[in-house]
Amino acid sequence: MVVVGGGRVAQRKVGCLLDVLAHVRVIAPTLSAEMQGWLAEGLIEHHARPYADGDVDGAWLAFAATGDPEVDRAVAAEAQARGIFANLASEPEQGSLATSAVHRAGHLTIAVNTDGLAPAFAVRVRDEIAAQYGETYAEALEDQARERGRSVGKGPLIAATRGSALAMTQTRWVAQRLAMHGIATGIEVIHTKGDRILDRTLAAVGSDGLFVKELERALAEGRADYAVHSAKDLPSRLGEGMVLAAICEREDPRDTLLSHRFDVSAGGLHALPQGARVGTSSLRRRAQLAALRPDLLFTDLRGNVDTRLRKLEAGEADAIVLASAGLRRLGATARFVHLFDSAEMTPAVAQGALGVECRTGSPVAARLREALNHEPSERCVLAERAVLRALEGGCQVPIGALAQLAGERLMLDAVVASLDGTCVVRSHAEGSAREPEALGTALAERLLAAGGREILQAFRPTEGGFDS
């Protein structure tokens, strides 16, 4: 998509496109403050100059929102001459595509659509609505959100979640458990930075909480009562004012090797020929795979579980590695499947567990914990997250940890590895299940002393716990 213009109107167009995960190229000498933020986050592409012939090449949709009708008409004329849909913000009836006229005030959004019959009339109605329903109504909406927060139990709770099939499946699972305790839930889908940036590896993005921050913002602003996360996506330190209300019962935490070409079911990694292409965007998996099979070739693989499985079927990789938990929750598989032993492929911190997050001091926290928390899983996750926190690791460092409960004892294994797999430091610790975080911190110190410190110094650690 191409948006020509860098002001407030163009910003609205870009924001809507980002919400649907579009790749957006912006042509403008300067950008609004909000768009500058999107640029800094890598969400948009910016050409810092006035519009020129050829700028719409490669697009299938062009938005002209410069504020200059002459320039907007030139953009539309070029786009339409090339068979590209064009939308003119200043003269919507002159374009080949009309969008709704939108009025926003705070979290209040009102859209007027005439099905393309009279775009100018839609703008007129929008302006009349804006004059009547301004900041006063936005403030009233905020008051209602706060009142709903104080009136927990009088209506459904709102869950914030990502929109992927796996995220929705997990959130519905949580909602079903809450319903068994008489707690109704509505779902608010949030598009995160990690969902929007798919053309780079997670490590290359180099930011923490890629799948978390927007959900935490919805909690902080009162748009949601709780958020459901894959616990491995959570940074080792939550956002300010946030708390983990519950850790749900954990699924299988191990990793799975999948292939349509080679029978890994029988031979595991050994079934792959020399030079086979293995798809993964996880540095942790790549490092441990390289240690086991340095002859393999690794290809970055981004996208949701179903997207990665389609890429495997299309032959973009000979095999891929995914979390067993996600596959089981979705009922997804491939022709040949091998489940890694945790001793050869240590899982990501908190892999297989769901974390339910809410605001600190929220009146719903105790109810969520009572209905959802699984104490054995929580103790294991706390120990693993303590390892990650003490190592100050994240997406740019290959770190894994797995805790297992045996009665009142907790067995904890962890690994730190160099990216090429030539240096792998593993350690094991056991201790009381009543002090999981102390055990995790102690094991992290043991890893550092055994050579982990030198490995970590080769990276620029980023706070965050995701491992996709």
Q: What CATH number does residue 59 fall under?
A: 3.40.50.720
136 contacts: CB under 8 Å, gap ≥ 6: none
Residue 118 lies in a domain: no
Range of the domain at 78: 2-99
Residue 44 lies in a domain: yes
Q: For residues 146 and 160, which has the higher predicted lDDT (pLDDT)?
A: 160
Q: For residues 26 and 392, which has the higher predicted lDDT (pLDDT)?
A: 26
For 358-376, what is the mean pLDDT? 96
Q: From its phi and psi, is residue 215 left (phi > 0), alpha (psi between -120 and 50) or beta?
A: alpha
240 contacts: CB under 8 Å, gap ≥ 6: none
Residue 386 has pLDDT above 60, yes or no: yes
| Confidence label for 193 from pLDDT (cuts 50, 70 and 90) | low
| Confidence label for 302 from pLDDT (cuts 50, 70 and 90) | confident
Residue 455 lies in a domain: no
Annotated active-site residue in 233, 255, 318, 413 = 233
Predicted local distance difference test score (pLDDT) of residue 153: 47
User: pTM for this one?
Assistant: 0.67
Lookup result for tokens 């539309």: 76
Residue 276 has pLDDT above 70, yes or no: yes
**What's the mean per-residue pLDDT of the chain?**
86
Q: Contact at 8 Å (CB) between 345 and 255? A: yes
Determine which of 61-65, 115-119, 177-181, 219-223 has the lowest per-residue pLDDT on average: 115-119
For 90-112, write each residue's pLDDT tens digit: 776 676 665 666 777 766 777 77
Show the tokens assigned to 467.
């491992």
Residue 10 lies in a domain: yes
In a 10 Å sphere around its CB, with 0-12 CB exposed, 13-18 middle and 19+ buried, how is residue 287 labelled? buried
Residue 208 lies in a domain: no
Q: How far is CA 114 from the centre of its chain?
A: 35
Cα–Cα distance measured from residue 269 to residue 8, given in angstroms and rounded to the nearest whole number: 53
H helices present in 301-419, as ranges: 305-313, 324-330, 365-372, 375-391
Residue 28 lies in a domain: yes
DSSP string, 85-114: EEEESS-GGGSS--PPEEEEETTEEEEE--
Lookup result for tokens 């050829």: 54
Residue 60 lies in a domain: yes
Predicted local distance difference test score (pLDDT) of residue 142: 66
Residue 130 lies in a domain: no
Determine which of 17-31, 136-150, 247-261, 305-319 has the lowest per-residue pLDDT on average: 136-150
Residue 53 has pLDDT above 80, yes or no: yes
Share of the chain above pLDDT 70, in %: 84
Cα–Cα distance measured from residue 173 to residue 329, given in angstroms and rounded to the nearest whole number: 9
Cα–Cα distance measured from residue 463 to residue 43, given in angstroms and rounded to the nearest whole number: 20
Cα–Cα distance measured from residue 3 to residue 84, given in angstroms and rounded to the nearest whole number: 13
Predicted local distance difference test score (pLDDT) of residue 464: 44
Predicted local distance difference test score (pLDDT) of residue 83: 86
Alpha-carbon Rg for the chain, nearest whole angstrom, is 25
Cα–Cα distance measured from residue 62 to residue 23, given in angstroms and rounded to the nearest whole number: 12
Show the tokens assigned to 259.
């292939």
419 contacts: CB under 8 Å, gap ≥ 6: 283, 286, 287, 290, 398
For 284-300, what is the mean pLDDT? 95
- Tell me if residue 199 is catalytic: no
Cα–Cα distance measured from residue 153 to residue 310, given in angstroms and rounded to the nearest whole number: 42
Predicted local distance difference test score (pLDDT) of residue 100: 65
How many domains does the chain contain in total? 1
Residue 215 has pLDDT above 90, yes or no: yes
Q: How far is CA 350 from the centre of its chain?
A: 16
For 236-262, write each residue's pLDDT tens digit: 899 999 999 999 999 999 999 999 999
| Confidence label for 371 from pLDDT (cuts 50, 70 and 90) | very high
Predicted local distance difference test score (pLDDT) of residue 213: 87
